[in-house]
Structure 1
Amino acid sequence: MSGLGARDIGHRVVVRHRIPGGLTDLIGVLQAWTPELLTVRHTDSTVHEIPVADVTAAKTIPEMPLRPVDVDQLFLTTALGRPAAETAYVGHWLLRASAGWTGRANSLLPAGSPGMPVADALKHAEAFYDERGLPPLALIRLGSPEDAEIRSCGWVDARPAQSDVLVLHTTLDHVNAEPRYDVQLAEHPGDAWYAAAFDGPVPAVAPQVMEGAPKAVFASITLDGQVAAVARGAMTGHWLAVDAVRVSADFRRRGLGTAVVQGLARWAGPLGGRRTYLEVLLENEAAMATYTRLGYREAYRYRYLTSR
């Protein structure tokens, strides 16, 4: 007997097992389990299949401690997790447009060098958005050099009445426990998923943005014949992006938001996922409490600036 079971899938384990010439220990995430075979993913993403008959001892081990995050890298990763419908570049700076739906998909992401003076780069940005009938926006990581440089060019807070947006991160080990509910995963969302994700009509560009990532999945929980909770996940390298988390008003305070995040984390683990991030308004106290309980912590925060 290995001492492990199906309930331990997604958790870190140590497995001592026989190999030619002796014994060895393997530490990794339990990816699959049967009474005859353990499938363990090592931290280097190699997958090991270990016959239970060769196992001399096995157990779950504590989650990995939350390591510091490379904020500059994560700032760029967030743009890849949910790509805009249309993009262009000014040097390394990314211009995004999606018919006005969401700030993230319709704003300048100033990361790296624009290849010209900042004032000139911002003029290019204004022209890009003017051509599309959109207000010029820049998503600014607070406290970054770009924050000070763009403000010095006269750009101001576009949403002064709204709180900061926090980008939170953690390791998959903190969020990949077995969900309390059955979480369904689909490569393409159906009408029921979109109906649960939006109040009212779905913006025409939304499917293009939501489904535009190379590796995305759509989670849902159905209760009493109704889609009660939804969320979206996308993989960029070893990062799992979690967004579009929404629980129907009739089903709140039951842990469904936690469950869909856990379902996405379990999807990401076998794909090489190691870390996860999401974005939340600081003023959204309920969501902040849920994500903090799951182990998410602040990486950085941002706001939108505009020249008008």
Structure 2
Amino acid sequence: MVVRHRIKGGLTDVIGVLEGYREGRLVVRHADSSRHEIELTAVTAAKPIPEMPLRPVDVEQLFLTTALGRPAAETSYLGEWLLRASAGWTGRGNSLLPTGSPGMPLPEALERAEAFYVERGLPPQAHIRLGSPAEAELRGLGWVEAHPGRSDVLVMHTTLDHVNALPPYDVQLTERPDHAWYGVAFEGPVPSAARVVLEGAPKAVFASIAVDGQPVAVGRASMTGHWLGVDAVRVAPDHRGNGLAAAVVQALARWAGPQGGRRTYLEVLESNQAAVTAYRRLGYVEAYRYRYLVSPSQ
């Protein structure tokens, strides 16, 4: 809603989400996560604003943004393509991102990409946005599904206004994760490359929620331009179903507002219906899907 009210020297407007009314004051949450408490006696006009539809997203730009938000341990460029390697940890961290032009004929570019991965003892695979020209080109050259039985990965997006409400839990934010954070984020040993990848973004933050002094829910986020990328959200099995994951996302979104964040994305397997449903409730919608293709030489 928009609330016009008197201030010293005149009138001003505040636009945001009406969070509540208490003790004669309206509480309005702005898109940058700041909360404004306005004395009701100072209000001269107020009206609801119809919810704005999400602006169309540039999927090619977002496709690249997701890579920059969680950079691989090693990245090389082939023209505008990204060659990423992270000692085998995660598909994203160990795959070709064929966005833009490689600066050479496609067969030659793919030959060089394959050599990059073979040199590192990794399978040559490509991170492909479904429905993109790159998908059609690589499939036409014989590249096939890396994980035929696995569901698509959904990349979902929304604006911070939808997700930056005050979380119902106390969420701690730190610039560096500790041992306890990793203990929730991973089952078993933490791959060495994971620490390099998760902590490698120029501007990142790590969230955790503790119960009885022990962390039971964690998440990570990074800023790329005005985009907040949320990932590594995980809740301990005994504490699932209590809204902890949503609270982690809300806290990360509130951190992003003062950093200049305006939009947010995350990735989730389509088969993880519980998570997909929770993110949709927060206001996330699908931007695109991706899968991995591997070279026919594999």
Do they superpose with TM above 0.5? Answer: yes
2:219 matched to which residue of 1? Answer: 231
Residue 130 of structure 1 aligns to a residue whose secondary structure is helix
Residue 182 of structure 1 aligns to a residue whose secondary structure is coil
Contact 2:160–2:262 (8 Å) recurs in 1: yes
Displacement of 1:19 in angstroms is 6.3
1:303 matched to which residue of 2? Answer: 291
Aligned residue pairs total 288
Contact 1:183–1:263 (8 Å) recurs in 2: yes
Change (3 A) 1:95 1:172: same
Cα distance in 1, alignment partners of residues 228 and 137 from structure 2: 31
Cα distance in 2, alignment partners of residues 99 and 272 from structure 1: 33
Cα distance in 2, alignment partners of residues 100 and 87 from structure 1: 13
Residue 123 of structure 2 aligns to a residue whose secondary structure is coil
Displacement of 1:293 in angstroms is 1.0
Change (3 A) 1:230 1:61: farther
Percentage of matched positions with identical amino acids: 69
Q: What are the equivalent positions in structure 2 for 1:43-62 lying under 5 Å apart?
A: 56-57=43-44
Question: Which ranges of structure 2 fall in alignment gaps of 5 or more residues?
Answer: none
Displacement of 1:121 in angstroms is 0.7
For the pair 1:16 / 2:14, whether they are aligned, the reply is no
For the pair 1:76 / 2:45, whether they are aligned, the reply is no
1:177-220 C-alpha deviation (Å, 9 max, x unpaired):
11111010000000000011000000011111001111100000
1:205-241 C-alpha deviation (Å, 9 max, x unpaired):
1111001111100000001222110000111111110
Cα distance in 2, alignment partners of residues 288 and 180 from structure 1: 20
1:176 to 148, 164, 169: 164
Question: Which ranges of structure 1 fall in alignment gaps of 5 or more residues?
Answer: 1-11
For the pair 1:146 / 2:144, whether they are aligned, the reply is no
Cα distance in 1, alignment partners of residues 99 and 13 from structure 2: 42
2:240 matched to which residue of 1? Answer: 252
For the pair 1:208 / 2:196, whether they are aligned, the reply is yes
Contact 2:154–2:268 (8 Å) recurs in 1: yes
Cα distance in 2, alignment partners of residues 60 and 185 from structure 1: 33
For the pair 1:199 / 2:171, whether they are aligned, the reply is no
Structure 1 runs of 4+ with >2 Å offset? 12-20, 22-30, 40-43, 47-65
2:253 matched to which residue of 1? Answer: 265
Change (3 A) 1:50 1:293: closer
Contact 1:63–1:173 (8 Å) recurs in 2: no
Contact 2:3–2:43 (8 Å) recurs in 1: no
For the pair 1:163 / 2:159, whether they are aligned, the reply is no
Q: Residue type of the partner of 1:250?
A: D
For the pair 1:99 / 2:90, whether they are aligned, the reply is no
1:253-292 C-alpha deviation (Å, 9 max, x unpaired):
1110111011101111111111110001111111111111
Contact 2:5–2:12 (8 Å) recurs in 1: yes
Tell me the TM-score normalized by structure 2: 0.88
Change (3 A) 1:246 1:51: closer
Cα distance in 2, alignment partners of residues 226 and 217 from structure 1: 19
* Greater displacement, 150-159 / 54-63: 54-63
Q: Could you say what the CA RMSD is over the residues aligned between the two structures, in angstroms? A: 2.7
1:134 to 122, 137, 150: 122
